[in-house]
Amino acid sequence: MRILIVGSGGREHTLTWKIAQSPLADDIFCAPGNGGISRLAECVPIGVEDIEELGDFAEQHAIDLTVVGPERPLIMGICDHFRSRGLAIYGPSAAGARLEGSKAFTNELVERAGAPGKQFEVFDSPADARAYVRDRGAPIVVKADGEAAGKGVTVAETVEEALEAIDRCMVEKAYGSAGDRVVVEECLVGQECSIKVLTDGEAVVPMVPSQDYKRIYDGDEGPNTGGMGCYSPVPAVTAEIFDEVIQEIVEPTIRQMAAEGYPYTGTLYAGIILSEDGPRLLEYNCRFGDPETQVVLPRLESDLVELLVATVEGRLDEVEATWRDDCAVCVVCASAGYPGGYEKGKAITGLADAESDDSTVVFHAGTKRVGRHFLSDGGRVLGVTALGSTCAEARDRAYNAVGAIEFEGMYFRTDIAERAIGTE
């Protein structure tokens, strides 16, 4: 098979790495790709939002399957465009991707599906939103309704913080049109985790759970990022909790989507909070997570391409996914200044030493390849993933590998997976 992967981050490097292991994969392309991906696939200089050009490339190069990494092209309708041209593509339609593209849509659909969500109100007027917050008090959560690249969510500890968040979204337009409406939600307390599934609109194949770290600094301090690390499995997610999430939240959502005329296919990512009242849905994403993919796919024993093709062809009930018992830990190495402004072009050394252990893989998130050398080219630069028989062993291997890597201004959290190790 000739396979095209759309995207340029650590998630796409992980997808490329796993797809390259499949005997079904003959030629792999990635648009636009990154330095690390270029070692496994032919990188194509086409942006993820250039949907027409991506479709042309797929036709001209006889691509058998396209796999979409980031959410933006999915929300824009890349899957609809490809399917209209008779091209096989893995991912939801634009109608399905509304589960990530509109938080109001998701909350309302989950409510209709009878799944355990949260109390919420949707506002088009900043004055009305402010009045509601003053009436409800804090803590409270304010979210830009639209897709805001993982930003636009404020967990406000005070009413003043919530009011500022409303103004940031609706008045200052910090997130563009994504903040035209806001969703104000109750603040749920508990550990968070993500549980992803593959679905063809009917059958569901669950993936192993993971837990990521959004804040930039140790101890969950500082601003939110795209994710500074991750681990899998999650001790707090027992078999009973896992089954409850699938049966009471995910499957009812998929049934409701189909009943309303827009069957969901692809990866459905449920962000879950383990509240004292049981698991509750925080949000849905319509794609593989980043950096969650970096700990989930290394634990997959099955052929990923076989699973993706079965999903696209609507026969997911004919295949199974098997998983390694090993634990996986990913530590993200970021540029100085991230998630704010940062410099690019810093020389990266030590990559070969970091990967000298067969249990460790360095996934490139924001790198550029110049000859035999790699330079930083993003906020999150690398995701160092290691496997181990215990979480402690995986964590030690990951941090040992991080210790071998250097680039000017490199920053990483030092407390990834500590919570899991405390339960072993």
Q: Which whole number is the average pLDDT over 347-374?
A: 96
Instruction: Judge if 176 and 207 occupy the same domain.
Output: no
Instruction: Judge if 312 and 199 occupy the same domain.
Output: yes
Instruction: Judge if 248 and 197 occupy the same domain.
Output: yes
Instruction: Judge if 270 and 366 occupy the same domain.
Output: no
Query: Of the candidates 141, 159, 180, which is a domain's last residue?
Result: 180
**For residue 360, is it within any domain?**
yes
Averaged confidence pLDDT in the chain: 96
Q: What is the pLDDT of residue 273?
A: 94
**For residue 101, is it within any domain?**
no
Is the predicted pLDDT of residue 305 greater than 90, yes or no? yes
**For residue 107, is it within any domain?**
no
**For residue 73, is it within any domain?**
yes
Choose the weakest-confidence range: 33-37, 258-262, 294-298, 420-424. Answer: 420-424
Q: Which whole number is the average pLDDT over 271-299?
A: 95
Q: What is the pLDDT of residue 150?
A: 66
**For residue 99, is it within any domain?**
no
Q: Which whole number is the average pLDDT over 351-363?
A: 96
Sign, CA dihedral 20-11-365-274, equals: negative
- Residue 68: beta bridge partners? 6
**For residue 210, is it within any domain?**
yes
CATH number at residue 291: 3.30.470.20
Instruction: Judge if 269 and 353 occupy the same domain.
Output: no
Q: What is the pLDDT of residue 423?
A: 74
- How many domains are there within the chain? 4
Above pLDDT 70, what percent of the chain? 100
Instruction: Judge if 275 and 293 occupy the same domain.
Output: yes
Q: What is the pLDDT of residue 122?
A: 95
Instruction: Judge if 304 and 381 occupy the same domain.
Output: no
Please tell me the distance from the alpha carbon of residue 86 to that of residue 6, in angstroms, as a whole number. 18
Instruction: Judge if 74 and 21 occupy the same domain.
Output: yes
Instruction: Judge if 78 and 145 occupy the same domain.
Output: no
Query: Of the candidates 295, 318, 341, which is a domain's last residue?
Result: 318
CATH number at residue 372: 3.90.600.10
Q: What is the pLDDT of residue 366?
A: 97
Tell how far CA 125 is from the center of its chain: 30
Instruction: Judge if 288 and 380 occupy the same domain.
Output: no
Query: Tens digits of per-residue pLDDT, 134-152?
Result: 999 999 999 999 987 667 8
Instruction: Judge if 36 and 66 occupy the same domain.
Output: yes
Residues 6 or more apart whose CB falls under 8 angstroms from that of 101 comprise 71, 75, 146, 147, 286
**For residue 112, is it within any domain?**
no
Please tell me the distance from the alpha carbon of residue 402 to that of residue 386, in angstroms, as a whole number. 10
Is the predicted pLDDT of residue 185 greater than 80, yes or no? yes
Query: Tens digits of per-residue pLDDT, 35-71?
Result: 999 999 999 999 999 999 999 999 999 999 999 999 9
Q: Which domain holds residue 269?
A: 191-318
CATH number at residue 134: 3.30.1490.20
Instruction: Judge if 209 and 302 occupy the same domain.
Output: yes
**For residue 104, is it within any domain?**
no
pLDDT band at 129 (very low <50, low <70, confident <90, very high): very high
